[in-house]
Amino acid sequence: MQVRKYSSRFALVFFTLIVFLILFSFKLVFLQIFRSAYLSQLAEKQHNALIRLEPRRGTILDRNLRPLAFNISVSSLFANPRSMSEHEKEIAIKQLSLILKMDPSVIRQRLSRNKYFVWLQRKLPPEITDKIKILKLRGIGFIKESKRYYPNQSLAAHIIGFADIDNRGLEGLEQNYDKYLRGEFGWSQILRDARQRELSLERNFVPPKDGFNLVLTIDETIQYLAERALDKAMAKHNAKAATIIVMNPRTGEILALANRPTYNLAEVTSSSIESRTNRAISYTYEPGSVFKIVVTAAALEESAFSESDKINCENGSYRVGNHILHDHHPEGILSFHQVIEQSSNIGVTKIAQKLGPYKVYRYAQSFQFGRKTEIDLGGEVSGFLKHPHDWSKTSIGAIPIGQEVTVTPLQLVCAISAIANDGIYMRPFVVKYIKDNNDQIIRSFEPKAINQVITLLTSQRTKKILAGAVENGTGKKSHIDGVAVAGKTGTAQKVVNGLYSHNKFYASFIGFAPVENPRLAAVVVFDEPHPSYYGGTVAAPVFQEVISDALKYIEMKE
């Protein structure tokens, strides 16, 4: 009886073991055959971390190799939610929300994901990183990344532009030359143990390729001088906005370019679209009397007038079509050069009438008005130059004096530079060359002549007339002691709701120096200065200050 009882128990145990063995065998076969790929992949994911290695974004330097933008090393915070218990997550949420000043619900949402890796916050300041490291939170770690740094904050902001948190260029040179600056990512495969701790082993490694460096035509010192003068004049004249460009007329190199309003490159998220807009190339306006350089050069080139020819300025009142044209200061008989010096609208209109619409238009085109300069910056617009077919009966008295035509400040400085450069129009540019970290030149950009607008002789004659406009005419406040300056003032009524305003103006000045050997050309434009609004009183003094200081700086360097 006892033997039978033990025999039954043995059979039950044996049968149970057989059943479990069969079940385990089936499970083993199922895992080996049907689930092996999935489980291998899961193990690979758990024990191998594929880390993307960020390249160093290229540095942007001024012409003297002073850095304007470069990358610095920072830490980015991540979490491994799958390695954290609910209690550990709650501790992390409570402590990190205080340090990072983040909504706890945002951190909780990210830690609730069933993932091995989630970002918590990218590119933290060192002091925040140190505070978090002290906590030694499980499942929380750091990855080294790099962050774009602009040492001069807003200096040359509209030229440099900015990059986003992933080091992708979004505006300015950062965007235009992003393919050179950004480099190529590398990869590293790191082994981890079962508790997700990194082992000091690498299975595969592809190093990142650092980005190339840009060397600009911009001179940091001249840029500073230009921005300082612009800021002072903005405050003095209560202007809405302003632009200044300084250019080497012989080469087309932009030495300084600034706009107001501007923005801090380190605080892009708090800036407005208006403050980030590069007005020098993206805003157009009716230029007023600075546009008279076109008719001046055309009349001399076509031998329609000589400097001493007399023109009746009608005592300040002259009918053109159904419109009465006026001069600010009524004049009688003036010589050709006096018409330009005193900026007589009537005198210039009579010069244009003798030339005819097609010649005025042809020379305006030759000075590249109505088309882009092709500068190596994004966002440039072409302005507007009306074809003679579309001129009205009053256009001959409007376009030559800078109405019914729109231009950018860059087009103006390029036009005055062509006169300074013996009649040769140069393409403007802001990047001199691209180099790698071994100082090997990858690509260089040489000065490029676009066309010969006027002859050398006409250029020389026009220079003398524009020098007279500074010495004897409306541009006296651009005078520099010991340096011959040539230039032209402009005061233009703004168009508001389709009508010319009587209390809103653009004040402009274009010029170059020294006259005998031009080294610098510049344009200065103010939008809605008040109560003073004439180009000769608002813009010309800024030109005088910047060019005077810049010439001293250049001579000191030499």
**What is the identity of the amino acid at 500?**
Y
How far apart CA 172 and CA 226 sit, in angstroms, is 19
Q: Are strands 198-206 and 60-61 parallel, antiparallel or unpaired?
A: unpaired
Q: What is the CA radius of gyration of the chain?
A: 35
Question: Does 289 participate in catalysis according to the annotation?
Answer: yes
Closest of 376, 377, 325, 368 to residue 346, by C-alpha: 325
Q: ∠ at Cα 115 (113, 116), nearest 5°?
A: 140
How far apart CA 502 and CA 507 sit, in angstroms, is 14
Phi, psi of 176 (to 5 degrees): -60, -35
Output the CA–CA distances (angstroms, integers) from residue 34 to 29, 39, 109, 264, in the order listed: 8, 10, 34, 59
Tokens describing residue 233: 């004049």
Contact 242, 260 (CB under 8 A): yes
**What is the identity of the amino acid at 142?**
F
C-alpha dihedral (280, 221, 419, 444), degrees to nearest 10: -80
Contact 519, 508 (CB under 8 A): no
How far apart CA 45 and CA 17 sit, in angstroms, is 35
List 76, 289, 344, 548, catalytic entry: 289
Angle at which helices 345-355 and 357-366 pack, to 10 degrees? 100
Contact 185, 516 (CB under 8 A): no
Name the helix (H) or strand (E) containing 215.
strand 213-216
Please provide the DSSP assignment of 528-549 as one string: S--S---HHHHTHHHHHHHHHH
DSSP-based three-state secondary structure for 438: coil
Tokens describing residue 109: 């949402």
Output the CA–CA distances (angstroms, integers) from residue 8 to 4, 12, 129, 182, in the order listed: 6, 6, 69, 78
Q: Are strands 118-124 and 67-79 parallel, antiparallel or unpaired?
A: antiparallel
Contact 377, 281 (CB under 8 A): yes
Active site residues: 289
